[in-house]
């Protein structure tokens, strides 16, 4: 089922989400709906607060661009992007590394706003799965960026918060307009 995507100005987007304590059938169903919603919106990631749910849960799918990373290790093994997509994770913990990289980002919860965001180029962390297992993922490129973007949502942080001062000035008017619609 395609879910409505929460838009800029909704307070749930500014909350640090609650940890997932138990994976229930309701959570599994939510994940299926989130994946369907993300694909329907042509997104590469979607976090639970973006569908109005206060949980540390996100889905990512960058399989449209299997060459979007220069490396991807899962539990120490080299794998291809398509082998782990869509990636679903709950309560993620990871560290960021590598040099800072700039790339244009957008967000399904902030329609029509795109801007250059600087983020660390790599992530290395633990991504708990619905079945109770954990994936240790080390990667870079678009996948690392999307993981960081979606995890920011779980912490109440939006990509516009990470813009430079000049970037914030450039989008300020559009954000005011969007907030006024909410």
Assigned domain for 86 exists: yes
pLDDT interval class at 179 (50, 70, 90): confident
- What is the pTM for the complete model shown? 0.96
pLDDT, tens digit, 9 for 90 and up, residues 13-59? 999 999 999 999 999 999 999 999 999 999 999 999 999 999 999 99
Assigned domain for 149 exists: yes
The CATH number of the domain where 65 resides is what?
3.90.45.10
> CA end-to-end span of the chain, whole Å?
23
Between residues 63 and 179, the one the model is more confident about: 63
The four Cα atoms 160, 162, 163, 168 give a dihedral, to 10 degrees, of: 50
Note if 134 is an active site residue. no
The pLDDT assigned to 182 comes to: 55
Assigned domain for 6 exists: no
Name the percent of the chain in helix, strand, coil, to the closest 5. Answer: 35, 30, 35
Annotated catalytic residue, options 19, 104, 116, 150 = 150
pLDDT, tens digit, 9 for 90 and up, residues 53-82? 999 999 999 999 989 999 999 999 999 999
Assigned domain for 17 exists: yes
Assigned domain for 2 exists: no
Can you point out the beta strands (E) in 69-159? 72-74, 77-78, 87-90, 93-107, 110-128, 134-140
Place of tokens 């990470």: 162
Assigned domain for 1 exists: no
Assigned domain for 142 exists: yes
Assigned domain for 3 exists: no
Instruction: Domain of residue 54: give its range.
Output: 11-181
The closest of 136, 164, 149 to 107, measured between CA atoms, is 149
Distance CA 18, CA 121 (A): 27
The four Cα atoms 10, 145, 142, 125 give a dihedral, to 10 degrees, of: -120
Q: How many domains does the chain have?
A: 1
């Amino acid at each position: 089922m395609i879910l409505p995507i929460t838009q800029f100005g909704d307070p749930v987007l500014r909350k640090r989400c609650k940890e997932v304590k138990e994976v229930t059938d309701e959570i599994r169903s939510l994940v299926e709906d989130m994946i369907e919603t993300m694909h329907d919106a042509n997104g590469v990631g979607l976090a639970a607060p973006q569908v109005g749910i206060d949980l540390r849960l996100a889905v990512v799918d960058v399989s449209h661009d299997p060459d979007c990373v220069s490396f991807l290790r899962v539990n120490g093994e080299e794998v291809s992007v398509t082998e782990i997509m869509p990636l679903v994770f709950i309560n993620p913990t990871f560290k960021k590394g590598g040099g800072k990289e700039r790339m244009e980002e957008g967000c399904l919860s902030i329609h029509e706003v795109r801007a250059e965001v600087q983020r660390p180029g790599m992530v290395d962390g633990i991504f708990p799965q619905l079945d109770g297992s954990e994936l240790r993922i080390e990667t870079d490129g678009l996948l690392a960026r999307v993981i960081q973007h979606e995890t920011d949502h779980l912490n109440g942080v939006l990509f516009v918060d990470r813009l430079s001062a000049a970037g914030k000035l450039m989008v300020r008017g559009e954000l005011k307009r969007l907030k006024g619609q909410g």
